Structure 1
Amino acid sequence: MHANMNKENITAAKVDESNVRITRARAKALGLSGGIFPPSKPSLEQDQKHVLTSNFKRAAADENKASMITSAGIKHKRRAVLGDVTNVLCENSDANCIHASKTQAIEQDRRGRAKKNTGVVVGVTPEISPVEEDAKTKLAEELSKIRMAESHEISLPVTLEEQEPAEKSMSYNIREYGLADQLPLVQASTKPAGLQSDQKKEDMVWERSGTSNGLDIVDIDSNLMDPQLCSLYAPDIYSNTSVAELECRPATDYMEKLQQDISPSMRGILIDWLVEVSEEYKLVPDTLYLTVNLIDRFLSKNYIEKTKLQLLGVTCMLIASKYEEICAPRVEEFCVITDNTYMRGEVLKLESQVLNFLHFQLSVPTTKTFLRRFIQAAQASYKLPTVELEFLANYLAELTLLEYNFLKFLPSLIAAAAVFLARWTLDQSEHPWNPTLEHYTSYNASELKTTILALEDLQMNTNGCSLNAIREKYRQQKFKCVATRTSPQPIVSLFENHDS
């Protein structure tokens, strides 16, 4: 009796636990291997998977059945059959449909290889109808035509390179013709009176080329290995720079016509002081040259009182420093350098006025711009470059910044004259001008005569100028004391011999 009851209790307990989730551990403990509980029902997800599998097999077996699986509401794409249908439709389509069929066939082949590699077996392969066979044949023919057309297009650039000699010469001389087209616009601009070298300058700028074709002309742009020299573009750069110097020039007579409260000597004192400021803050030479250019361009059209002249000077140096320097001095530093004569607000206000008046045109060629090019041409005649020539030419060019009368000379003319006089000062055994310099400066010796004689007076300080900032700067040993060098023989004798 007790045995039967125990057996029934165990069975009842097992039946009650049938509604509880059965784990493997519980099943083993309860001994379910005897089949007491019925198998658990499959989940809804498994039912859907079985339905999808059966429907997919039926759809693959019968081509005329729809590819929509109604039981699960999911649309299944039959890739192989759709590919064939697309090929049939291409029978009356254009090249776009052919391209789509080609892409689909490649995709189908790729997927077929992927299935083969992963071991997936495709159940049923639909038979190819005669219409589909004809479409595939026609597709193959059209594809071959496309390949032939593509090969023809690939060969087209080769035929285009075979230009006529006239076309080649035109493409090689684009710089020459392009620059010549710009010259009439420059000639139409207003030029200062008494400037005789402008017309000659305009006539000779476009004649310069990147290669040397004359007597003993050294090609200074042949060093393509140094990226700092920009050898490939240097001829074009300096040809356009020679044109630009005619456009951004200050007036040469603004002191007489506009300014009533300041004088050329006041201007010289200001610039001499700015040279000391540039040395104090270790500014690059380009900053000093651009500062003077901005001052003269602003004074050419704007009246200013002498009490504001120093404010204009520090403001223009602030603008030039922002343009040229890596780390420009702060506004407060320029205020301190004036012993706080001007406040920060005054400097910023005038800065805005100057920039707006100049229309923010700060990329202007100065004497220093041309001096780099001309010194490079001058060094070509030496076996080894000489730093004395570079320092002396820079010294002579900076002396002209103090002189209001030198505004009538073009920056390139001053640079060429500085190189000429520097070569003569260092060596009187040969003529300082040669075909290479004449080629790259576009000036001959006779055109430089007036500028060279005026520059020699500055070098000898014949007027007894007391402004010594530049002279003291170039008396230093780091500049080889070039400010103390003078020529034992006056340079005018060179021109007298040449004229005779």
Structure 2
Amino acid sequence: MNKENEPPPKVEEPPGRITRARSKALGAGGGICSSSKPSFKQDQKRLLPLNSKRAASDENKASVTTSVGLQPKRRAVLKDTSNVYADSLYMDSINATKIQTTKQTIGDANNKEMIEDISMEIPLVEEDVKSKLAEDLSKIRMVEAQENTLAVILEERELAEPVSHGARKCGVADSQASTISVGLQSPREKEENEVCELLGASKGVVDIDSDIKDPQVCGLYAPDIYNNIRVTELNHRPSTNYMEQLQQDITPSMRGILIGWLVEVSEEYKLVPDTLYLTVSLIDRFLSLKLIEKQRLQLLGVACMLIASKYEEICAPRVEEFCFITDNTYTRGEVLKMESKVLNILYFQLSVPTTKSFLRRFIRAAQATYKVPCIELEFLANYLAELTLLEYNFLKFLPSLTAASAVFLARWTLNQSDHPWNPTLEHYTRYKASELKSTVLALEDLQLNTSGCSLNAIREKYRQQKFKCVATMSSPERVVSLFSR
């Protein structure tokens, strides 16, 4: 027999997946022979054609299982896969390009419409802004031109007819100047006019707070400040009859002697006038509340001046200096103990208005009618006000009333040809001339020393040349004749 006609030997396939070729071989041989083992070369020859058939069958199975929904193990065919992927990528890129081009054309059309709208709006906005700026600039230039014109006109009028500064500020200048200023007022003039209106300044009243540039003057707050201290002088005034009601060991003359001595002490240590006025106020307020023996009256005066010095002075005298001025009658401990007692009795309320508090403002109002400030008026009003410190009877008058009466009598002493009271003084003191009659008459008696008072400390002080010797001045005509007119 030829070898070609011989039946193929039974081959035992390794266990695994059964393919068509393997099942055919098994079916032809009648089974699997487990006794014979093929050599490596024979298996290699047989497996080569089987592998090609297996690949084809696997490919068919893959297509079938995929259609059924199973997921077999994929065997990549690089040529076919790469070509399909490349084609799909190429088609996707073409489609994406078309879509992007379509969107871009649509977006360009929308953008063009928006740009056209914005381009139409921008010139309109710019034109509005430019027109507003031009209007504002024209207004500013018109105001500047008007202010310059007004300044030139006012300067010419000042050279021709000098008008007082305060009257012009409150609109009391002549009618022509006021007519020009209407509608052509600068911001500063408007502010000053508002201040005058707030002050309630009427015709003939000079605004003494018009110098609003100086912060030390506090021109805008001065009316409120003095309104406040007018109320405070009522709340913190001493008793007007404590000598009769409370004190048993001291008299009004003892009080006068003590204050006369304190005037000399203030001159010795060059204390400011406010210290002297506050010292007297503290003494009277303490004596209105607490009984004291005459042996300790001087100690009370020293302690009150120590407190006032600490409150008013920049460099207050030391406690030892006040002990020395009393010829060491009282020790340092006694002075400090009395200081503590006074502060506790008065509840540390030291900010009280005195005659000096009002006198400054009233003198300033009196000086407003003078072209040149009168220094004698200031010294004479202060002299008359200090004379009242010695007199217990003047406690019945308010400090503001005493200050107004001192200014009234000082103006009358310096000039009897004109009435000493005017609308400006009446406005700022809030006293009419008729309300000052009793106080002015009592003050004139002190000036003329009709009672023959021997306390000359204040008189000697104001006889000095530095005070223009105002203590020697007196009016030839009594002031009572002024009230009888």
TM-score normalised to structure 2 length: 0.59
User: Which amino acid in the other structure matches residue 481 of structure 1?
Assistant: C
Which of these residues, 366, 370, 383, is aligned with residue 354 of structure 2? 366
Contact 1:209–1:235 under 8 Å retained in 2: no
Does 2:476 correspond to 1:482?
no
Asked which structure has the greater CA Rg, the reply is 2
Does 2:445 correspond to 1:457?
yes
Cα deviation, residue 301, structure 1: 1.1
> Is the partner of 2:236 in helix, strand or coil?
coil
Q: Distance in 1 between matches of 2:327 and 2:242?
A: 29
User: Which amino acid in the other structure matches residue 449 of structure 2?
Assistant: N
Does 2:306 correspond to 1:315?
no
Cα deviation, residue 453, structure 1: 0.1
Q: Distance in 2 between matches of 1:257 and 1:359?
A: 22
Cα deviation, residue 215, structure 1: 2.6
Cα deviation, residue 225, structure 1: 2.0
Which of these residues, 265, 279, 283, is aligned with residue 295 of structure 1? 283
Contact 2:201–2:207 under 8 Å retained in 1: no
Post-superposition CA distance 1:243-277 (Å, at most 9, x none)? 11000110000000111100000000000000000
Judging changes above 3 Å, is the alpha-carbon distance between structure 1 residues 430 and 254 closer, same or farther for their aligned structure 2 residues?
Answer: same
Cα deviation, residue 393, structure 1: 0.2
Does 2:207 correspond to 1:219?
yes
User: Which position in structure 2 is the counterpart of 1:348?
Assistant: 336
Contact 1:291–1:317 under 8 Å retained in 2: yes
Q: Distance in 1 between matches of 2:201 and 2:414?
A: 29
Post-superposition CA distance 1:76-116 (Å, at most 9, x none)? xxxxxxxxxxxxxxxxxxxxxxxxxxxxxxxxxxxxxxxxx
Contact 2:409–2:440 under 8 Å retained in 1: yes
> Is the partner of 1:229 in helix, strand or coil?
coil
In the TM superposition, 1:197-216 aligns within 5 A as: 210-216=198-204
Does 2:242 correspond to 1:254?
yes
User: Which amino acid in the other structure matches residue 418 of structure 2?
Assistant: E
User: Which position in structure 2 is the counterpart of 1:493?
Assistant: 481
User: Which amino acid in the other structure matches residue 268 of structure 2?
Assistant: E
User: Which position in structure 2 is the counterpart of 1:119?
Assistant: none
Cα deviation, residue 227, structure 1: 2.3
User: Which position in structure 1 is the counterpart of 2:251?
Assistant: 263
Count, aligned residues: 290
In the TM superposition, 1:102-141 aligns within 5 A as: none
Q: Distance in 1 between matches of 2:243 and 2:385?
A: 22
Which of these residues, 428, 434, 437, is aligned with residue 440 of structure 1? 428
User: Which position in structure 2 is the counterpart of 1:406?
Assistant: 394
User: Which amino acid in the other structure matches residue 479 of structure 2?
Assistant: I
Q: Distance in 1 between matches of 2:382 and 2:388?
A: 10
Q: Distance in 1 between matches of 2:415 and 2:391?
A: 27
In the TM superposition, 1:49-68 aligns within 5 A as: none
Contact 1:391–1:479 under 8 Å retained in 2: yes
User: Which position in structure 2 is the counterpart of 1:417?
Assistant: 405
User: Which position in structure 1 is the counterpart of 2:105?
Assistant: none
Post-superposition CA distance 1:385-414 (Å, at most 9, x none)? 111000000000000000000000000000
User: Which position in structure 1 is the counterpart of 2:95?
Assistant: none
> Is the partner of 1:250 in helix, strand or coil?
coil
Q: Distance in 2 between matches of 1:364 and 1:222?
A: 27
Contact 1:210–1:235 under 8 Å retained in 2: no
Judging changes above 3 Å, is the alpha-carbon distance between structure 1 residues 323 and 210 closer, same or farther for their aligned structure 2 residues?
Answer: farther
Cα deviation, residue 300, structure 1: 0.3
Contact 1:367–1:414 under 8 Å retained in 2: yes
> Is the partner of 1:224 in helix, strand or coil?
coil
Contact 1:212–1:219 under 8 Å retained in 2: no
Cα deviation, residue 229, structure 1: 1.3
In the TM superposition, 1:323-402 aligns within 5 A as: 323-402=311-390
Q: Distance in 2 between matches of 1:210 and 1:315?
A: 43
- Equivalent pairs: percent with the same residue? 79
User: Which amino acid in the other structure matches residue 260 of structure 1?
Assistant: Q
Which of these residues, 215, 233, 237, is aligned with residue 221 of structure 2? 233
> Is the partner of 2:434 in helix, strand or coil?
helix
User: Which position in structure 1 is the counterpart of 2:19?
Assistant: none
User: Which amino acid in the other structure matches residue 236 of structure 1?
Assistant: D
Q: Distance in 2 between matches of 1:231 and 1:411?
A: 22
User: Which amino acid in the other structure matches residue 379 of structure 2?
Assistant: F
Post-superposition CA distance 1:341-375 (Å, at most 9, x none)? 00000000010010011110000000000000000
User: Which position in structure 1 is the counterpart of 2:232?
Assistant: 244
After superposition, the CA RMSD in angstroms is 1.0
User: Which position in structure 2 is the counterpart of 1:471?
Assistant: 459
Gapped regions of structure 2 (runs ≥ 5): 1-195
User: Which position in structure 2 is the counterpart of 1:430?
Assistant: 418
Cα deviation, residue 212, structure 1: 4.5
Does 2:266 correspond to 1:278?
yes
User: Which position in structure 1 is the counterpart of 2:94?
Assistant: none
Q: Distance in 2 between matches of 1:496 and 1:211?
A: 32
User: Which position in structure 1 is the counterpart of 2:190?
Assistant: none
Cα deviation, residue 230, structure 1: 1.1
Q: Distance in 2 between matches of 1:485 and 1:315?
A: 35
Q: Distance in 2 between matches of 1:469 and 1:454?
A: 20
Post-superposition CA distance 1:190-220 (Å, at most 9, x none)? xxxxxxxxxxxxxxxxxx9743532300011
Q: Distance in 1 between matches of 2:239 and 2:440?
A: 22
